[in-house]
Structure 1
Amino acid sequence: MRYLLRKLVFYVAALWAALTLNFLIPRLMPGNPVDLMLSKLATKGPVTPTTRAAIQALLGTDTNGSLWNQYGKYLHQLVSGNLGTSIAYFPAPVSQVIGQTLPWTVGLIGLATAISFALGILLGRAAGWRRGSWIDNLIPVTTMLQSVPYFWLALLLLFLLGSTWPIFPLNGGYDVYSVTPGWNLPFVQSVAYHGTLPALTIVVSSVGGWMLGMRNMMVSTLSEDFVLTAEAKGLTPRRIRSRYVARNAVLPSISGFAISLGFVVAGSIVTEAVFSYPGIGSALLLAVSNNDYALMQGVFLIITLAVLGANLLVDLLYGVIDPRTRARS
């Protein structure tokens, strides 16, 4: 229980620090979302001070009062679920924009990251257990693919599998002309079809790192004394591989997987830009180009919660997998 409480206190403090930075950084940036909105309205007629005050209240950028008052109002709005109004998607609230785009990102990037992790761990375990086999010889190829810039690999696959051989669509999240969004089979099939090529790009570019890390840890763990003791006891090779070697070798990869899951939202920007995918990364790019501070703050908040939540989950899981971590704590 003390281990759990210590972890929770640490992550609550980290969340508070992240929220504070999320409040301060946009206010230190040049530009003003109110001025941007007023410049758009000015093309249709003169803007009165009353209109400016109304827009400031609507966008949550009213600078009247001290910074502490603004900070308190900001925290109160977060607790109540009010993240402000988006300029890029005006008059939609930020929470609605995030709610519509986040499932696309989590479904694509999250699932592809989990697949690449599972595939890399399984291949790395086999390569470390059977050194010199054909699986072990795949590591230079997968490492080479990982070293290729992601956007270049994505463009190459788009050219080959989307243009030269039109197997997959070039852009979009689903066929907007022939299917209706909803929980129906044609829509799900269209989403899976459009997401296959972006997911394939993520898996191809990242599986090599998981495979190499797991393979090296398997080789290192095989030289430990407890493995020799297990062999001397007459345990089967399968039990030694699964319960003794792989279980200890996978621990560093689990920590890396937590970081990867946490940055699923942040890492979606390049993927969604290349494939024109309707996720939260595309929304963030549009927010930056329109100085939409409210939407940027909302997306950064989601990234913060994702990183902290993933790390907390894996910290707790780490304590279950390796009880020694709880003893040290």
Structure 2
Amino acid sequence: MTATAPPAEAVEASAESAPRSGLRPWLSRHPLAAYALRRFGLYLIELWGALTVAFFFFRMIPGDPIQTLIQTLQQNYVYNQQASAEVIARYQHEFGLDGNIFTQYLKYMNNLILHGDLGPSLINYPTPAQNVILHSLPWTIGLLGISAVLAWVLGIIVGAVAGWRRGKAGSAIITNLSIALSHVPFFFVALILVYVFAYSLGMLPARSAYDSNISPGLSPAFIGSVLKYGLLPGLSIVVIGAFGWILSTRMLMVPVLGEDYLTYAEAKGLKPWRILTRYALRNCYLPQVTAFGISLGFIFNGNVLVEQLFNYPGLGTTLVTAIQQLDFNTILGVTDMAIFSVLTAVLLLDLLLPLLDPRVKYWK
């Protein structure tokens, strides 16, 4: 009795039905997870590359921060004579400036990644640079973060209505006004607001973040003071930022209005406001969500000129002071935070967009 070979179709079917194990087969069965892993790996490479470029760029700035620190200490009568070589060597080691530039780079990345340590701050020695940054960060988030959110929401709403009612007089006025003012610098609007509301009318304060006579805390008096002092700088950012969002939202809205699904929705008897919010605007807000996420990352830079104009104690003011005194640790800390926030915002958007819109598929 001779054995006969099974048909080729049966062999192929059994091979296909056999369980496949391992990482690659699992990733092939889960394309979204494979895309997320690839995107996260690319994010780590981008983050490392950006931090490396920032480190070497600021290390090439001419100047000696140690001599700047010693001169500051001499002016404050801490030193009465020239600093010795041992003192200079100790400061160089403490600030991570000893050895060649590659040794400094390895030491800096080791402290940053493993310990979260940026080193001491020159502008507030011997306070660590991360503490100086964390002290300024809430002011920047409170001012620029809330202002960016308000500008985005206002711009989306007004821009959608302006695009929906295109051809009307109000829409034309808003569009032309947005074109004219969307590229005006924030600080120019801030100067106008200060002149009108602070100096001419005397209604609002022109400088600082809160009343110095009130102790910081969660008391209603302090919160009201912070809101009052932050109204002018926040308003200067909201006004100009909103005009930019109005213009871009209207630009996205107008081409959508000619789509067949809107005509079908109108033929079904749906109300115009429902068509605008549930159909037209829904297909326009995805690019705006992407742009908004990236813009939120940039708030960690702070609007330097606005904060300088109002003497606001945010990251912008801290960055300017650090640059003036060659405080490399604080400069790199603010820059690294901006890099991390922008790249993280882009990563989160890349991961969320396929979930928000089924048409968006980055994986194969």
SS at match of 1:194: helix
SS at match of 2:182: helix
Q: Which residue of 2 aligns with 1:74?
A: 108
Q: Which residue of 2 aligns with 1:180?
A: 215
Q: Which residue of 1 aligns with 2:184?
A: 148
Equivalenced residue count is 326
- Consecutive unaligned residues of structure 1, counting only runs of 5 or more, are none
- Deviation of 1:41 (Å): 4.4
Q: Which residue of 2 aligns with 1:214?
A: 249
Q: Which residue of 2 aligns with 1:283?
A: 318
Q: Which residue of 1 aligns with 2:303?
A: 268
Structure 2 counterpart of 1:114, from 145, 149, 152: 149
Q: Which residue of 2 aligns with 1:308?
A: 343
Structure 2 counterpart of 1:6, from 38, 41, 45: 38
Query: Which moves more between the two structures, 265-274 or 281-290?
Result: 265-274
Q: Which residue of 2 aligns with 1:27?
A: 59
CA distance in 2, matches of 1:202, 1:75: 35
Q: Which residue of 1 aligns with 2:6?
A: none
CA pair 146-247 structure 1, distance change in 2 beyond 3 A = same
Aligned residues of 1:95 and 1:298 also touching (Cα < 8 A): yes
Letter in 1 for 2:208: G
Aligned residues of 2:120 and 2:128 also touching (Cα < 8 A): yes
Deviations 1:156-175 (A, max 9, x none): 11000010001110100000
Matched, 1:169 2:199: no
CA pair 215-171 structure 1, distance change in 2 beyond 3 A = same
Structure 1 counterpart of 2:331, from 291, 296, 306: 296
Q: Which residue of 2 aligns with 1:139?
A: 175
Letter in 1 for 2:44: V
The 5-angstrom pairing of residues 228-267 of structure 1 reads: 228-232=263-267, 234-267=269-302
Letter in 1 for 2:177: V
- Deviation of 1:283 (Å): 0.4
CA distance in 2, matches of 1:183, 1:4: 41
Letter in 2 for 1:70: Q
Q: CA RMSD in A?
A: 1.9
Aligned residues of 2:302 and 2:315 also touching (Cα < 8 A): no
Matched, 1:123 2:158: yes
Aligned residues of 1:117 and 1:210 also touching (Cα < 8 A): yes
- Deviation of 1:226 (Å): 3.2
CA distance in 2, matches of 1:70, 1:147: 41
Structure 1 counterpart of 2:92, from 17, 37, 56: 56
- Deviation of 1:233 (Å): 5.0
- Higher-Rg structure is 2
Query: Which moves more between the two structures, 130-139 or 120-129?
Result: 130-139
- Deviation of 1:238 (Å): 3.6
- Deviation of 1:97 (Å): 0.4
CA distance in 2, matches of 1:129, 1:36: 59
Deviations 1:277-318 (A, max 9, x none): 110100000001111111100110111111112222222332
CA distance in 1, matches of 2:133, 2:228: 23
CA pair 195-67 structure 1, distance change in 2 beyond 3 A = same
Q: Which residue of 1 aligns with 2:7?
A: none
Letter in 2 for 1:299: V
Aligned residues of 1:126 and 1:135 also touching (Cα < 8 A): no
Aligned residues of 1:41 and 1:47 also touching (Cα < 8 A): no
Letter in 2 for 1:116: A
Letter in 1 for 2:228: Y
Deviations 1:36-91 (A, max 9, x none): 223344662121111011111222212x2x54433221111102011011111222
Q: Which residue of 2 aligns with 1:17?
A: 49
CA distance in 2, matches of 1:270, 1:259: 21
Aligned residues of 2:96 and 2:107 also touching (Cα < 8 A): no
Q: Which residue of 2 aligns with 1:84?
A: 119
Deviations 1:194-216 (A, max 9, x none): 00111111111111111111112
Report the identity percentage: 38
- Deviation of 1:255 (Å): 2.0
CA pair 186-134 structure 1, distance change in 2 beyond 3 A = farther
- Deviation of 1:134 (Å): 5.0
CA distance in 1, matches of 2:121, 2:236: 31
Q: Which residue of 2 aligns with 1:44?
A: 80
CA distance in 1, matches of 2:359, 2:167: 33
